[in-house]
């Protein structure tokens, strides 16, 4: 049983964060998972849950003090940069133990043809004229591609978008990503020449990268923002060990 009932705050919104909350609760720790509130029906999370922004790094620091938080885990998505910067600053100013849970990014393998870019805007510029591109990005990242009237896009989504997509020449595909062979068949059937995606890491969306390698298709890969100074561990087990070492 943990020595103190002071809660662990998990900045979440990812599958890893939910998995960590469940594991910590099972070990007897008190957890508060924090969600930004972007999803109307988030999946069930073990332990306590709070929703909404804190009001910047200062607001987060106030919350850490007010709620007697014993340890802060930033388990937000690799591309959620603002909240992660706030977490580092708030942990710094309060002195509360801090760890970041960040799944490793994908690394280039032999046969991969990656065009690595740093931003969405660079990805827009890197798309060759007349290409047929699988745009494997969330709907909030689609609009910048509207200026590329010389490119055909296939946009794959699980649910239909609430507002029409702001693209010139495109096809909407409502389906889930499949296994490598299914992804290869999909890329071939749609006569796609490129993929544009973010370097999210993890297994769930890697099949398209393996399929592109197999087919020799270039991938315009939006790399992760560089965040110096974060104490990062790659998986829930390592974070669990860290928590047990820190809190007993
Ligand atoms: P962001 O740009 O880094 O954060 C913007 C603001 O939203 C933050 O300053 C903070 O407001 C609030 N916020 C973000 N995450 C929060 C959390 N877990 N709890 C409480 N407040 C939070 O974040 P984002 O990219 O919009 O992502 C929002 C959430 O969606 C995160 O929880 C993230 O894990 C999840 N998510 C993001 C992506 C992605 O691609 N970015 C993908 C999957 C899931 P205040 O400054 O007021 O505190």
Q: What angle is formed at CA 93 by the lines to CA 237 and CA 79, rounded to 5 degrees? A: 50
Q: How far is the CA of 51 from the centre of ligand 1 (A)?
A: 11
DSSP 191: T
- Residue identifier of the C-alpha nearest atom 25 of ligand 1: 80
Is the Cβ atom of 108 under 6 angstroms away from ligand 1?
no
Within a domain: 131: yes
Exposed/middle/buried for residue 202 (C-beta within 10 Å: 0-12, 13-18, 19+):
middle
Within a domain: 2: no
Distance CA 158, CA 185 (A): 18
Largest CA distance in the chain: 62
Within a domain: 3: no
Is the Cβ atom of 175 under 6 angstroms away from ligand 1?
no
Question: For every one of its 248 residues, what pLDDT tens digit does the chain have, with 9 covering 90 and above?
Answer: 565 689 999 999 998 999 999 999 999 999 999 999 987 777 899 999 999 999 999 999 999 999 999 999 999 999 998 999 999 999 999 999 999 999 999 999 999 999 999 999 999 999 999 999 999 998 889 999 999 999 999 999 888 888 899 899 999 999 889 999 999 999 999 999 999 999 999 888 999 999 999 999 999 999 998 776 678 999 999 999 999 999 98
**Claim to verify: residue 63 and residue 21 sit in the same structural domain:** yes
Q: How far is the CA of 191 from the centre of ligand 1 (A)?
A: 35
Q: How far is the CA of 36 from the centre of ligand 1 (A)?
A: 5
* The pLDDT value given to residue 228: 66
Domain carrying residue 41: 8-103+226-247
- Residue identifier of the C-alpha nearest atom 41 of ligand 1: 80
CATH of the domain at 58: 3.40.50.720
Q: How far is the CA of 83 from the centre of ligand 1 (A)?
A: 6
Query: Three-state DSSP class for 101?
Result: strand
């Amino acid at each position: 049983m943990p020595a103190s009932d002071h809660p662990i705050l998990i900045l979440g919104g990812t599958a890893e964060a939910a998995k960590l909350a469940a594991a910590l609760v099972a070990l007897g720790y008190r957890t508060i998972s924090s969600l930004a509130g972007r999803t109307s029906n988030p999946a069930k999370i073990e332990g306590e849950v709070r929703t909404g922004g804190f009001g910047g790094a200062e607001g987060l620091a106030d919350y850490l003090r007010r709620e007697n938080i014993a340890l802060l885990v930033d388990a937000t998505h690799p591309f959620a940069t603002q909240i992660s910067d706030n977490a580092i600053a708030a942990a710094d100013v309060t002195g509360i133990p801090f760890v970041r849970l960040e799944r490793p990014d994908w690394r280039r393998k032999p046969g991969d043809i990656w065009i690595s870019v740093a931003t969405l805007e660079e990805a827009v510029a890197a798309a060759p004229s007349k290409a047929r591109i699988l745009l494997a990005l969330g709907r909030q990242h689609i609009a910048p591609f509207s200026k590329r009237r010389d490119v055909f896009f296939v946009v794959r989504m699980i649910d239909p978008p609430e507002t029409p997509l702001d693209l010139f020449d495109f096809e909407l595909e409502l389906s889930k990503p499949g296994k490598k062979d299914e992804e290869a068949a999909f890329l071939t059937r749609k006569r796609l020449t490129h993929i544009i995606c973010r370097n999210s890491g993890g297994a769930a969306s890697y099949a398209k990268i393996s399929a592109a390698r197999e087919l020799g298709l270039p991938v315009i890969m939006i790399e992760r923002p560089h965040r110096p100074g974060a104490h990062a561990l790659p998986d829930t087990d390592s974070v669990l060990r860290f928590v047990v070492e820190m809190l007993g």
